[in-house]
A = this chain, B = another copy of it.
């Protein structure tokens, strides 16, 4: 067993247990120990994969995904993670079922869970609805497990909701840890989480919310920048404020992209929709107000268009610390002249950091696998040790 892997396991073994039997719905509900467990387990699992070691710890069991929005990256990350651990994938395609809201969420959640170990949900479209739906599913499987209907209680993972995108932000954090060498090295580093212009409409707030709430816990100076009207939810802002105070970091808000980029060590320029418009949109969608929705889309696009200068250009990058800040994006980015006429980032900046954004994305499958491992097994370090000692390779190579 190699040295680094052993060190990771030791660190993991010494953490107090924070994830066993738990869901993963919002990072700001999790203890520091729980977050560190997930990060360490993800590193160990990525290390196993790199060394062609197997990680199967389930002989059978389903991993159910519910995607209420299109997805490629997260879908494949979830699929890869579950397959790596030995779980079989089954997607609940709501277009081919008759899933109604309300009373029957409870029933459906149980019906898909008899032999299920994990349920991953993406529901990021309706402000105020996505995370609530996840909690309904979680409550339902708790109820059915407590009453003996389910032999095991599947864990619920938030694969992006209206409030947070924890599998993304923990992958982002792992990318930063790897880039700067340790979590401790993040202390005092400045990260600019900045709104950026996009010609499209309705992007969720989950990534900026998740980033400010998470990075403030690790002593970073989190600088949030956006034009007027694009503020985040009170809940996320208040948490980031408290977290920064507690960690010795800093949380500031500005309406200038340049201010945010000034001397930043990391920049994360990304578009999102105005919160107020997203709330109105949910109401209109619920009410089936088609005319109102069209007017609202126009209003949102007009609003975006007034801030078309919020673009990550070489000049903007020049303002960062030594002109060499790490550029981050959850992908796909709106790249000017490539995927749209004018967007979040200029092509020359994106191309320079393209492989970095791929490396950032590469952590996500292992973060998801780590969440499952730490939730389903009381002693994840011992499971990883057992796996690491298996006398064969993941991919048979005699």
Contacts and interface: CB of A to CB of B under 8 A. Distances in A.
B88 A362 contact: no
Contact of A111 (B88, B361, B378): B361
Given A355-B149, A361-B111, A103 B58 contact: no
A55 B210 CA distance: 40
A301 interface: no
Interface string A46-81: 000110101111111110100100111101110111
A111 B331 CA distance: 10
A55 B90 CA distance: 19
B144 A358 contact: yes
A96 B80 contact: no
A335 B103 contact: yes
A251 to B, nearest CB: 31
A291 interface: no
A151 interface: yes
Nearest to A392: B59
Nearest to A85: B60
Nearest to A50: B151
A88 B83 contact: yes
B49 A56 contact: no
Interface string A366-398: 000000000011110011011100001111111
Q: Categorize the interface residue count of chain A.
A: 35 or more
A166 interface: no
Contacts of A290: none
A210 to B, nearest CB: 19
Contacts of A151: 49-50, 52
A81 B88 CA distance: 11
A379 B395 CA distance: 13
Interface string A82-109: 0111101110100011111011100110
Contacts of A61: 83, 394-395
A62 B79 contact: yes
Interface stretch (A10-18, A113-121, A123-131, A232-240): A113-121
A27 to B, nearest CB: 22
A332 interface: yes
B398 A382 contact: yes
Contacts of A358: 107, 110-111, 144, 149
A365 interface: yes
Given A358-B110, A396-B57, A80 B115 contact: yes
Interface string A175-213: 000000000000000000000000000000000000000
Contacts of A332: 98, 104, 107
Interface string A308-344: 0000000000000000000000011001001100000
Ranked 6 nearest A-B pairs via Cβ:
A54-B59, A80-B115, A83-B88, A57-B396, A72-B97, A149-B358
8 contacts: A59-B392, A62-B80, A72-B108, A76-B111, A104-B339, A114-B361, A117-B395, A144-B355
Interface of A: 49-50, 52, 54-62, 64, 67, 70-73, 75-77, 79-81, 83-86, 88-90, 92, 96-100, 102-104, 107-108, 110-112, 114-117, 144, 147, 149-152, 331-332, 335, 338-339, 355, 358-359, 361-362, 364-365, 376-379, 382-383, 385-387, 392-398
